[in-house]
Amino acid sequence: MTVTARPTPPELSFAGGFDPYVVRDDFPILSTTVNGKPLVYLDSASTSQKPNVVIEAVDTFYREYNANVHRGIYTIGERSTAAYERARATVARFINAPDAHEVVFTRNATEAINLVAYSWGRRNVNRGDAVILTEMEHHANLVPWQLLAQERDGDLEFIPITDDGLLRLDVFEVLLRLKPKLVAFTHVSNTLGTINLVAEMTEMAHAAGALVLIDGAQAVPHVPVDVQAIGADFYAFSGHKMLGPTGSGALWARRELLEAMPPFLAGGEMIREVHLRRSDFNDIPWKFEAGTPDIAAAIGFGAAAEYLMTLGMDRVREHERELTAYALDTLASELPWLELYGPMHADLRGGVVPFNVPGVHPHDVAQVLDRYGIAVRAGHHCTMPLHERLDLAATARASFNVYSVREDVDALIEGLREVVKLFGEPVR
């Protein structure tokens, strides 16, 4: 791997303001070509691209101090342990967690949610107990609860959505009369972009005696997240969607909950003392980090959090809000036949724009766009029940990140014009 030397935070040249064109220089992949065209990456909701500081952090780990953590009493082992724990502290600071030990490293958001479903869920959800979810959940915040409900004979209830993709909080209020054990919902929808009223919903759930898990996979990369201000009990997210390496994710939970929860996976690292017939477990968070973790990914995750904090999450949100407004306006005015879904006001949504070209399958749309170097996702985006609710077989989706610019939206519009040249002008 060739890695060019780059300034690292806090010396980044945009420190005083947010310039996405300067930010783009930090992402080497954005200067590559695909099918002879410059890459237009509009699939950041699946996974984000990585800045040089993250690539370098991973590269330096493997080149200079690769060693297991919490084991070796030798210099590079101590260095890797320190870097791993420093990354945890940085990620904790990024979400304003009160204590770095409340952050458990996982492979992704899916593992973080499964950890809670297996460990907390199997202890606390009993026959007839309700868990409330929403109709807009990603499968990662749906299937673990289905398995739990089947195993424990629990009950799943769902907050419905309006046709433009907002949660029906009036129905939530009624569902809370069931006295659920847990309410689990996404902070930002990966399909519609809807930004949910997480603090208000948490307060409502707590007033009914329920704990709250928030799936923050699509929130942490795009909006300022303060877990203390939100007040939730569990907050799950992915590092790889917030500019970190694949294999990085985290669960934040309140200390007393983590301390009371039994281990999720068992083996090395998560124990204090092992006898042939029983063991004592390690303190949090290591009790939940069995085996050798993805050390390089965690260190890269910390570098990504540091990078985003230097950009400033308020500025990141403002940039993406402005770009989403531009996308919604120009897509609707330039391509009047295009079907757009989700809340139509950028204040209510993150940088996720789902669409359909009437009469053309989204897979065909994505394939034609790819010829022009434009990467969008097509399919059900792991939200099959949401697509069913909206009576859609599939959608295409453009999604943004810090490095996305108006020219990406313009390229998408030109690409969609090529789609209709091939398949014929649709009528709405």
Q: Which residues are identified as catalytic?
A: 382
Sign of the C-alpha dihedral computed for residues 376, 381, 386 and 391 taken in this order: positive
Alpha-carbon distance of 413 to 409, in angstroms, equals: 6
Whole-number minimum distance, CB 141 to ligand PMP, in Å?
A: 6
Q: Look up residue 353 and give its amino acid.
A: V
Per CB under 6 A, does 49 bind ligand PMP? no
Q: Which of 379, 91, 380, 354 is nearest to 238 (CA)?
A: 91
Per CB under 6 A, does 324 bind ligand PMP? no
Q: Token match 């991973």: residue? A: 58
Nearer to ligand PMP, 65 or 193 (CB): 193
Whole-number minimum distance, CB 187 to ligand PMP, in Å?
A: 8
Q: What is the CA radius of gyration of the chain?
A: 22
Whole-number minimum distance, CB 190 to ligand PMP, in Å?
A: 3
Q: Which two tokens stand for residue 406?
A: 């108006």
Whole-number minimum distance, CB 167 to ligand PMP, in Å?
A: 14
Per CB under 6 A, does 217 bind ligand PMP? yes
Whole-number minimum distance, CB 244 to ligand PMP, in Å?
A: 10
Nearer to ligand PMP, 95 or 335 (CB): 95
Per CB under 6 A, does 44 bind ligand PMP? no
* Binding-site string for ligand PMP from residue 234 to residue 273, where x marks contact by CB under 6 A and - marks none: ----x----------x------------------------
Tell whether omega for the bond before 285 is within 30 degrees of 0, i.e. cis. Answer: yes
Q: Which of 45, 59, 78 is nearest to 8 (CA)?
A: 59
Q: Which two tokens stand for residue 229?
A: 């201000």
Nearer to ligand PMP, 81 or 108 (CB): 108
Of the residues 90, 119, 186, 282, which one makes contact with ligand PMP according to CB under 6 A: 186
Q: How far is CA 182 from the centre of its chain?
A: 21
Kindly identify the residues of this chain, within the stretch 133-172, that bind ligand PMP according to CB under 6 A.
Answer: 138, 140-141
Q: What is the DSSP string of 76-90?
A: HHHHHHHHHHHHHHH
User: 3-class SS at 130?
Assistant: strand
Of the residues 48, 194, 218, 395, which one makes contact with ligand PMP according to CB under 6 A: 218
Per CB under 6 A, does 215 bind ligand PMP? yes
Per CB under 6 A, does 399 bind ligand PMP? no
**Region from 54-62, 70-78, 102-110, 417-425 binding ligand PMP, contact rule CB under 6 A:** 102-110
| Long-range pairs, 158-161, Cβ under 8 A, ≥24 | 158/132, 158/133, 158/134, 159/132, 159/133, 159/134, 159/135, 159/185, 160/134, 160/135, 160/389, 161/134, 161/135, 161/136, 161/194, 161/386, 161/389
Nearer to ligand PMP, 12 or 213 (CB): 213
Whole-number minimum distance, CB 420 to ligand PMP, in Å?
A: 29
Whole-number minimum distance, CB 81 to ligand PMP, in Å?
A: 25
Nearer to ligand PMP, 108 or 356 (CB): 108
List strands edge to edge, sheet with 182-186.
103-106, 249-253, 234-238, 211-215, 182-186, 130-134, 155-159
**Region from 106-114, 195-203, 222-230, 301-309 binding ligand PMP, contact rule CB under 6 A:** 106-114
Residue 287 in contact with residue 293, Cβ under 8 Å?
no
Of the residues 44, 48, 81, 110, which one makes contact with ligand PMP according to CB under 6 A: 110
* Binding-site string for ligand PMP from residue 52 to residue 91, where x marks contact by CB under 6 A and - marks none: ----------------------------------------
Residues facing residue 185 across a β-bridge: 214
User: 3-class SS at 262?
Assistant: coil
Judged by the rule CB under 6 A, the positions of this chain that interact with ligand PMP are 45, 108-110, 138, 140-141, 186, 190, 215, 217-218, 238, 249, 382
